[in-house]
Amino acid sequence: MKLSGARFIDGLMVTLEIGAYSIVLGLFTGLVTAFLRLSGSLSGRLLATVYLEAIRNTPLLVQLFVFYFVFGPIFELDRFWVAVLCIAFFEGSFASEVIRGGILSVPKGQWEASDAVGLTRAQAYRYIILPQAVPIMLPPLVGIVVNLIKHSAIVSVIAVFDLTTSGLDIISETFMAFEIWIVVASIYLVITITLSVLVGLLEGRMRRRVERA
């Protein structure tokens, strides 16, 4: 049992590592895609649209195999980074729409005010638009982050030693399928609830800061 516990911990650490990298890269991808869709560049909007349609209209499992068998060998990526990039690109496509919606929800008068005081577009985003849009974005982004953690279980199909793979290995040795899957599901539940609580606290703090401003 001690050995099984150590495997669970090792698998959990890999799952958390995949989740952390994927969250950062996914949010960055979503932010860049949202800016491209809102830009005045035709090529930028076209690139963002092609990316969104390709990612959102194909299954995640198929995308994982494409990354693993096509992009992995071409760019000499190991399976860990294949998993991270695939999940980040997948969730980033949904994050981009949340971010774009949050930016568009800011009243046009705020843009006009930023122009009136001579701010550049980048400065307007940094000091006026994003501080108001982020509290609106946070609730749906929490859902995306939670889905990202749950979707990370799919990396077991390319033999990444994550929490799900460690559970499969332990089941193959102990034949305790019911007990092991209950433990695995409980660990995922704890992770996602913890993330939701932490982001909820952050959201409340940001809203109070905006109200005081």
pLDDT tens digits for 127-183? 888 888 888 888 888 889 888 998 888 998 888 888 888 888 888 888 888 888 998
Query: Would you give the end-to-end CA distance of the chain in angstroms?
Result: 54
- CB neighbourhood size of 73 (10 A): 10
Cα–Cα distance, 171 to 178 (Å, whole number): 9
Structure confidence at residue 212 as a pLDDT band (50, 70, 90): low
Exposed/middle/buried for residue 87 (C-beta within 10 Å: 0-12, 13-18, 19+): buried
Number of domains in the chain: 1
CATH code, 79: 1.10.3720.10
Predicted pLDDT of residue 48 = 93
CA distances (Å), origin 138, targets 110, 133, 201? 20, 9, 11
Q: Give residue 18's domain range.
A: 2-212
Cα–Cα distance, 188 to 179 (Å, whole number): 15
Of 87, 108, 99, the residue nearest 35 (C-alpha):
99
**132 touches 106 (CB < 8 A):** yes
Task: Answer whether residue 188 shows pLDDT above 80.
Answer: yes
Predicted pLDDT of residue 122 = 81
Cα–Cα distance, 162 to 154 (Å, whole number): 9
